Amino acid sequence: MKETLRYLAGIAGPSGYGSKTTADQVVRSSSSSPHHHLTAIITGATSGIGAETARVLAKRGVRLVIPARDWKKAVALKEGIEKENPKAEIILFDIDLSSLASVKRFCTQFLALGLPLNILINNAGIFSQNLEFSEDKIEMTFATNYIGHYLLTEMLIEKMVETAEQTGIHGRIINLSSVIHSWVKRECFTFTQMLNPNKYNATRAYAQSKLANILHAKEISRQLKAKNAKVTINAVHPGIGASTSCYVALSTQAQELSGKYFADCNECICSALANDESGARRLWTQTRALISRRLIADCNECSCSALANDESDARRLCMLTRALIHRRLQHQITTPS
């Protein structure tokens, strides 16, 4: 009850911010100077909280990398930000977070640019009213909100560690969760059932994916601390705006905090299930095994040998075949029947 009243009144917490604090206010006071040296990837940035996060970070000089499923919306976002801030640097990519192959392709393309990576905001999320499955045969909400971001983080985390080592600036990963993660009951949080539920309930599926986002942050934080890496990862309940995401991404107060859960720009208590360290480790292990199986299966179905991928040999074979056909045709023309 006390927390509800605090939220409604917009009373500031220990950070000095509250539910009525805007993202612009958070970022203006996060540092006295712009952040031209930072690069951030934001998923789900073409609308809602993600779009506001992108706008505010770009305003502070952060280079934005926007992987998006809807290219027209991505272009519109880019044009809108550039109209407000002509100096903004925004790079667009295609991605479908529900597809492991698409996530892998985006990461490969981004890493090929050779850019640093300081901030990763796993913002994208869907609420699927009906039971649907991704191309990898995973329930769509879980595939998009959790599995896709898991793989994205796994493929980019070494780049973030490397960037932090080279620059001395802490890298930051933010997983968007939700307060409704606390609705999930332990007996309902079963990995195989989340992948392929017997009885689908849209709200339960969404809540489970948001609990998974927190557990993911907890386990990755543990792994990063064990490596003494200068990269943090936290989960946030965004509420109705982008202020908490921007606070955790840029505030000096949050710079070394990791494995935490934030709401209204303040550290909060999450559910007992979200604090289960062994559960977090188990979920991470199960997810890694699942993705490995799926990607290996894709390779077995789609890949061919190195010799079959040799482009110069392919061109040479084509030329020889054409020459052979030409000689055969000439022979048929000059030989009397």
Domain boundaries, the chain: 2-301, 310-334
Per-residue pLDDT averaged across 265-269, rounded? 96
Catalytic positions, written as ranges: 200
Q: Amino acid letter at 213?
A: N
Q: Is 269 helix (H, G, I), strand (E, B) or coil?
A: coil
Q: What is the mean pLDDT of residues 72-99?
A: 97
Is it the case that residue 308 has pLDDT exceeding 60? no
pLDDT of residue 34: 58
pLDDT in tens, 140-169: 999 999 999 999 999 999 999 999 999 999
The CATH number that domain 2-301 falls under is 3.40.50.720
Return the minimum-mean-pLDDT range out of 9-18, 64-73, 232-241, 259-268: 9-18
Contacts of 105 (CB under 8 A, 6+ apart): 95
pLDDT of residue 28: 84
What does pLDDT average to over the chain?
89
Name the phi and psi angles at 66, rounded to 5.
Answer: -115, 100
- What is the DSSP annotation of 44-104? TTTSHHHHHHHHHHHHTT-EEEEEES-HHHHHHHHHHHHHH-TT--EEEEE--TT-HHHHH
Reduce the DSSP state of residue 231 to 3 states and report it. Answer: strand
Query: 337 falls in which pLDDT band (50, 70, 90)?
Result: very low
| pLDDT (tens digit per residue) in 112-131 | 999 999 999 999 999 999 99
